[in-house]
Structure 1
Amino acid sequence: MAERLQKILSQAGIASRRQAEALITAGRVRVNGAVVTELGAKADPVTDTITCDGKPVKPIGRKVYVLLYKPPGYMTTLKDPAGRPIVTDLLKGVGERVYPVGRLDYNTEGLLLLTNDGAWANSLAHPRHEVEKEYLVRIQGLPSADQIRQLEEGVVLDDGKTAPSKVRQLNSSQKNSWFSITIHEGRYRQVRRMCETVGLSVVRLKRIRYGSLDLGDLRPGQYRLLSPGEAEQMLA
C-alpha cells in the first residue's frame, strides 16, 4: 500500500518525520531510481525500491528505545558538519540505528531519548500529550520573586508566549542558585531562552526527567534500553 515517503522513512528508523521531510526536499531520497523531492509523494515500501543517500530503506526489525545521559559537549544530531561529537557516538552496542527524540543543545546535559520507532517519537512530540520535561537550572546570583513568577506564568519569546511552567527553588547562595523548572513544550533552547528573557544567566542546565522517566543511576555518557512497558507508559 502506498504511503507518504516521510512516513516510510520515519517508520524505517531513518529519521524523525520532520527530518525525513528535509531529506526528501534535499534530493537525497530515490524511488525506483528516480529522485523525489515533493513532500506529498507516495511509495509502496513492499513493491517499490526506496533509497536514502544510496542506501536501501527497509522496515525496522525490532523497535528500540534508549535513555541516554547526554554529557555537555555533544550534538543532538546524526551528523555534524563541524566534526563535533554526536550523541550516537555514545551508543556502542545498541545494534540498531536510532535517532534523537527532540533535542538538547550542545552545552545542555541530561536525559535524552532515542529510538527507531517513528510513530512513538512523533506521538511524544505531539502537543496533545503534553509530556512533562523537568530541568535543573543553575544560575548566577539569586532569582527575584518577580523573575520566578514570570517563568511560572509564561514568558514571551520571539516565537510566542510559553505555556505556564512549574518552578521549585532549591539550594542557593549569594553567588549561585539552583531551581527546578518543568515544562511540557519542546521549543528550541526553550529553558535557556526563558531564563535569558527574564534576566537570569544560566551556568548549568540539566534535564532530569522526561514524562515518567528519570536518569536514575546513570552517569554522563551512559545509557540503558527501555522496556516495552516503559515506552508504552510514556504515551499513557
Structure 2
Amino acid sequence: MAQNMRLDRFFSSQNLASRKEFRTLLKQGRVAVNGAVPAKADLKIDPERDEIFLDGTRIGYQKHLYLMLNKPRGVVSATEDRSQKTVLDLVPEELYRPGLFPAGRLDKDTTGFVLLTDDGEFAHRILSPKQHIAKTYHAVLDGPISEETAAQFEKGVTLKDGFTCLPAWIKTVKDGQNPIVEIILHEGKYHQIKRMAAACGRHVLSLKRIKMGGLCLDPDLPEGGCKALLHKDIQKLLEGQGAE
C-alpha cells in the first residue's frame, strides 16, 4: 500500500507538473480528487485509492520510474561524484525523481543504454547472475576477429587473471581495418569486453551498449538523451535470456 503524500508531490512524482506548475493547475480548477476540486496543494492523498483527475482524465499511479539513458563518453555511472558528471546529471528536471540510480554500470568511456530506476527490487532482478539477462554491445576493434576467437567466446574466454567468463557470442557486423563487432554477454565483470578482447589479441577502440534483454536502445534518442519507459518496455528488459 502506498503511503499518503501531498497532492502536489503526487503530480511531480508522476512527471505531470512541477510543484510550481501544479499550483497554476489548481487555480485553474483543472484538478479534482474524488470528484471535488481541492483547495490546497498540500492535500494528503492515498495515490493507490483516491481518484485523481487532470482535465477530466483519471491519473493512474506509477509507483516506480524507469528511464532509458543514452550515455555519452566521459560520464560516470554513479549517483553522485564530486569531480565528474554522472548519469543522473543528464536526467531532465521533468523526469527526475529522488532515489533514481543506474541499474548496472557502463565504464566512463563506454556509451549507450543505461537503465535508471528507483525500483531496487527490479534492478536486482535484472542484474542477478541467476537471471543471465543478455546485454548486447557494438565494439570497434583494432583488427578483424578469427573463427578461433568466435569459438573462444562461445566456449568462455579465460582472462589473463585466470577467470573464465560465461559463454558469450561475437560476430562481425561491419568489415574493415577497424571492424565493428556485436557481442552478447550474460554477465558484467569489470572491463569485461575489453579484457576478453585482449585475451584474444584484440584491442577495443570504442564500445557501445545497444540492448538490454529484449529492449533495444532507441535509435532516435541522442547521446545524453533520456526517456521514460512504458510497461511493455519493462517487460522486454526481462526477455532475451539466451543468445540470438
TM-score (norm 2): 0.67
Q: Which structure has the bigger radius of gyration?
A: 2
1:134 to 2:136 alignment: yes
8 A contact 1:151–1:195 mirrored in 2: no
1:89 to 2:92 alignment: no
Q: How does 1:96-175 map to 2 (within 5 A)?
A: 96-97=97-98, 98-157=100-159, 158=161, 160-173=163-176, 175=177
Amino acid at match of 1:89: D
The structure-2 alpha-carbon separation of the partners of 1:95 and 1:171, relative to structure 1 and needing over 3 Å to count, comes to closer
Deviation at 1:213, TM superposition (A): 1.0
* 1:218 corresponding residue in structure 2: 221
1:179 to 2:181 alignment: yes
* Deviations 1:3-51 (CA, angstroms, capped at 9, x unpaired): xxxxxxxxxxxxxxxxxxxxxxxxxxxxxxxxxxxxxxxxxxxxxxxxx
In structure 1, what is the Cα distance between the partners aligned to 2:162 and 2:238?
Answer: 27
Alignment equivalent of 2:234, drawn from 206, 231, 235: 231
Deviation at 1:145, TM superposition (A): 2.4
Deviation at 1:152, TM superposition (A): 2.4
In structure 2, what is the Cα distance between the partners aligned to 1:188 and 1:228?
Answer: 30
The percent identity for this pair of structures is: 33
User: Which deviates further from its counterpart, 99-108 or 139-148?
Assistant: 139-148
Counterpart of 1:156 in 2: which secondary structure? coil
* 2:10 corresponding residue in structure 1: none
User: Which consecutive aligned stretches of 4+ in structure 1 deviate over 3 angstroms post-superposition?
Assistant: none
Counterpart of 1:129 in 2: which secondary structure? coil
* Structure 1 unpaired stretches of 5+: 1-60
What is the CA RMSD across the aligned residues, in angstroms?
1.6
Deviation at 1:87, TM superposition (A): 0.8
The structure-2 alpha-carbon separation of the partners of 1:188 and 1:90, relative to structure 1 and needing over 3 Å to count, comes to same
* Deviations 1:105-139 (CA, angstroms, capped at 9, x unpaired): 00000111010000000001112221111000101
* 1:69 corresponding residue in structure 2: 70
Amino acid at match of 2:90: L
Deviation at 1:159, TM superposition (A): 6.8
8 A contact 2:215–2:236 mirrored in 1: no
In structure 2, what is the Cα distance between the partners aligned to 1:145 and 1:212?
Answer: 27
8 A contact 2:214–2:237 mirrored in 1: yes
Structure (1/2) with the larger strand percentage: 1
User: Which deviates further from its counterpart, 216-225 or 114-123?
Assistant: 216-225
